[in-house]
Amino acid sequence: MFKKGLVAVALTTALTGCGVTAVCPPGTEIEMETAGIPAKASDELKVIVLPVDMEFKDAAKGRLQTVFRNDLEATIEGTGAKLVDRKLANKLKGEIKLAEQSGRYNKSGVPIADLAVITEVTASNLSSSFSEAYSYENDDGETKYVPAKCTFTTEVKAVAKVVSLPDMNLVQRIELGASDYSSTETNNSRCPISNAQYTGMASEAAEKAVAYNFELQKLLAPSAPVTAMRQCEAGTMVKVAMGSKKKLEPGTDITLSQIHKSDEGDVETYTLGEGYVVKHEQDAVKPNFSWVAIDEEMSLRIRKGDSAKVVPEECPILNPLCHLNQLGL
């Protein structure tokens, strides 16, 4: 069956108004063109995370550098990408930093990594405010006393540059930032705070800065090539080479895109649109592959080897801290 026969199925799906809830059976495969530049699966990508730079003195400096690096590495591991050994990353930091300035990393032999993450902490600011004690009368006529207190705010900022190796092209520049808050009852209007307390707050802010930055998660989200297409009464769907091992489940949103190379040698990605994992608990997702429902327009353009990438969930409804951070609070 050829792609021109997909229109009737698309119309049927549109008229029903329902999502695709069944996987097309074997034998309903559709012929596909092959992509000129096949996409890599994210677990084939190697990423090197360099030690974090911090050019200013700060009581929390060592802790901030550790937290940012650990959490960036954890985020990358969560995508299935392979991390370059930390000892090797430490050894190569100087070479890659010099290459960033020259625009080329000249390293012969097997490539060390596909991407490098170069991070710098740019600010860690502590502020405080003092509130005098006061009393008030509630609706029941009772007098309530509110003691004096100091409120502390720690704001941490960093920049993570993701560059490709060996050409050192900037893939994305990601601004990381978050704040942490605490308060303590005191009559001391100078609001003293220990280095340990400040370091703890700065560490919390750094953790949130990475965890709640969805630009980073989108860039490093699990991805895999499209390997097949099927069409039946249930709808049109493509098989992608990632499944439950990458935490896909029925309903997961997927972005589909193509990789193109210009006559000048520039490589760019063109987004075709979005699909979603077929909503069937047993058949749609297997450990190493899943079936993604797509619309008619996309079915006429998508090719074997094109890229399928998970769309990360932003701020779950039941995570108020995430929503507050998105609002800059």
Each of the 329 residues of the chain gets a pLDDT tens digit; together they read 444 444 444 444 443 446 899 999 999 999 999 999 999 888 778 999 999 999 999 999 999 999 999 999 998 888 778 899 999 999 988 888 888 777 666 665 557 899 999 999 999 999 999 999 999 999 999 999 999 999 999 999 999 999 998 888 899 999 999 999 999 999 999 999 999 999 999 999 999 999 998 887 788 889 999 999 999 999 999 999 999 998 899 999 999 999 988 887 777 889 999 999 999 999 999 999 999 999 999 999 999 999 999 998 876 665 666 666 666 65
In a domain, 46, yes or no: yes
Is 110 in the same domain as 12?
no
pLDDT of residue 6: 47
Is 22 in the same domain as 73?
no
Is 17 in the same domain as 52?
no
Number of structural domains in the chain: 2
Is 303 in the same domain as 265?
yes
Q: pTM of the predicted model, to two decimals?
A: 0.79
Cα gap 302→319, rounded to integer Å: 36
Is 199 in the same domain as 235?
no
The CATH number for 281's domain is: 2.40.10.410
Residue 156, classified by CB atoms within 10 Å of its CB into exposed (0-12), middle (13-18) or buried (19+), is buried
Domain that holds residue 210: 42-220+316-326
Cα gap 222→242, rounded to integer Å: 8
Cβ neighbors of 6 (< 8 A, separation 6 or more) are: 30, 231, 236, 296, 299, 300
Task: Identify whether the C-beta of residue 248 lies closer than 8 Å to the C-beta of residue 242.
Answer: yes
β-strands 82-83, 46-49: how paired? Answer: parallel
Is 175 in the same domain as 292?
no
In a domain, 47, yes or no: yes
- Secondary structure of 230-264 in the HEC alphabet? EEECCEEEEEECCCHHHCCCCCCEEEEEEEEECCC
pLDDT of residue 329: 57
pLDDT of residue 3: 45
In a domain, 53, yes or no: yes
Is 25 in the same domain as 68?
no
pLDDT of residue 1: 41
Cα gap 67→194, rounded to integer Å: 20
Is 90 in the same domain as 47?
yes
In a domain, 37, yes or no: no
Q: Torsions phi, psi of 238, nearest 5? A: -120, 150
User: Burial letters for 202-211: b for 16+ Cβ neighbours within 10 Å, e otherwise?
Assistant: bbbbbbbbbb
In a domain, 107, yes or no: yes
In a domain, 174, yes or no: yes
In a domain, 36, yes or no: no
Q: Report the SS3 class of residue 31.
A: coil
The CATH number for 110's domain is: 3.30.160.150
Is 193 in the same domain as 137?
yes
Is 95 in the same domain as 235?
no
Cα gap 41→260, rounded to integer Å: 17
Task: Identify whether the C-beta of residue 50 lies closer than 8 Å to the C-beta of residue 159.
Answer: no
Radius of gyration for the alpha carbons in the chain, expressed in angstroms and rounded: 25
Is 172 in the same domain as 320?
yes
Is 68 in the same domain as 105?
yes
Q: Report the SS3 class of residue 180.
A: strand
Cα gap 288→245, rounded to integer Å: 7
Q: Which two tokens stand for residue 85?
A: 């050994």
